[in-house]
Amino acid sequence: MKDGLNGNPTNKFVGGCQIARMKTCVIGDDGKLDISEQDIPAPGHGELVVKMRACGICGTDVEKLHGNYPSRILGHEAVGEIAFVGEGASGFEVGDRVFPHHHVPCYQCHLCRSGSETMCPGFSQSNISPGGLSEYFRVPEWNVSRGAVFKLPLELSFRAGAMIEPLACVVRGLKKVSFGPESFVTVVGVGPVGMLHVSALRIMGAGHISVVDISEERMKFARKLGAQDSFSPGEAVKGIQECSGGMGSDITIIAAGSASATDTGIATLRKGGKLIQFGLPKPGTLLKSDFSSIFRREISIITTYSGIERDVAEAIDMIASHSEEFEGIISHTFRLEETQEAFRLAEDASAARKIIVEAG
């Protein structure tokens, strides 16, 4: 095993074994956020241990703390440097700057071969441990051997790297539809992932982008990223009709989890339009939209969950060539010790854009 801890003063050797401690942020037995110490994980065969440098806080992390999500592992938007290379993990060196993807499909089963890779049973079973909000985390052989650990281009900072995972999810959703310079696209909800959608849509060549939100502040930022029009939810349907010459939106993306956001989004679509549900609805969410009208207007409703290696590769290229723009979406940075505060701010999303935690 090669290691990158030599010279670290917290390093101790006990009985020939290297023991070092690290800070980690996990969901405790009481369901609350717990910042504690534990041993730095050691890599098994084919595994890597990564020293976290930056990790974004995702809406799903907040939902996990509320018990609304099956997984309890916090932090999946992490980038860092390789600290240990396990036996058999070839192609990696201590010190490599990497983005390790947390969930990785098998790429062999029927679901994978049919394009539903994120529904593969292996996908949600693979994960980094103890999570991205830890000073160090272990990347399993399953992920390493399937090409899910990406080396970061030099021009991509760790801070911008924290946007790779969410942008990969955005890319996957956008690839489920086609759009071009003629297209009218609407993004409902311009929190951090809505903002990523606006940037990605502009870079990928969408003609006209409208955004819908309750926050004037967020819509102002979205206009900076390339949205031409912005509307409050009450004005959205009429406003989008007008700016699309009476037609309605070709594609509407719901980057929020509430039923009302989806209902508004459906109403903004033109006949034959497509809705992409990106935001995570809470369990039990029911829509008010009239299904008969959805049918008669030939509306397609497409859901999208997470992303795979292909999407990650595209996200890395996109961020590397627009590094400043993506880094600019970050509004708050916390130290790992301050994660509690980071989550408090993430709860009140209106006060922030993307929130990240840094270490190292």
> Which residue's CB is nearer to Zn ion, number 20 or number 308?
308
Question: 52 and 359 in contact (C-beta within 8 Å)?
Answer: yes
Residue 15, Cβ neighbours under 10 Å: how many? 5
- Shortest spacing between CB 122 and Zn ion, in angstroms: 5
The rounded distance, in Å, linking the Cα atoms of 330 and 352 is 8
Residue 158 has, within 13 A of its CA and on its CB side, a CA count of 19
Residue (41 or 105) nearer to Zn ion, CB: 105
Nearest distance in Å: CB 355, Zn ion: 12
Q: How far is the CB of 228 from Zn ion (least distance, A)?
A: 27
- The nearer residue to Zn ion, 103 or 208, going by C-beta atoms, is 103
Assess contact for 164 and 196: CB atoms under 8 A.
Answer: no
Nearer to Zn ion, 120 or 167 (CB): 120
Cα 330 to Cα 161, 195, 324, 353, 357: the distances in Å are: 11, 10, 10, 6, 11
Of residues 105 and 191, the one with the C-beta less far from Zn ion: 105
Residues making contact with Zn ion (CB under 5 A): 58, 105-106, 109, 112, 120
Q: Shortest distance, CB of residue 113 to Zn ion, whole angstroms?
A: 8
Give me the half-sphere count of Cα atoms (radius 13 Å) on the Cβ side of residue 200. Answer: 28
CB of 76 to Zn ion, least distance (A): 6
Strand-pairing partners, residue 274, are 251, 300
Q: Which is nearer to Zn ion, 67 or 115 (CB)?
A: 115
CB of 166 closer than 8 Å to CB of 196: yes
CB of 220 to Zn ion, least distance (A): 24
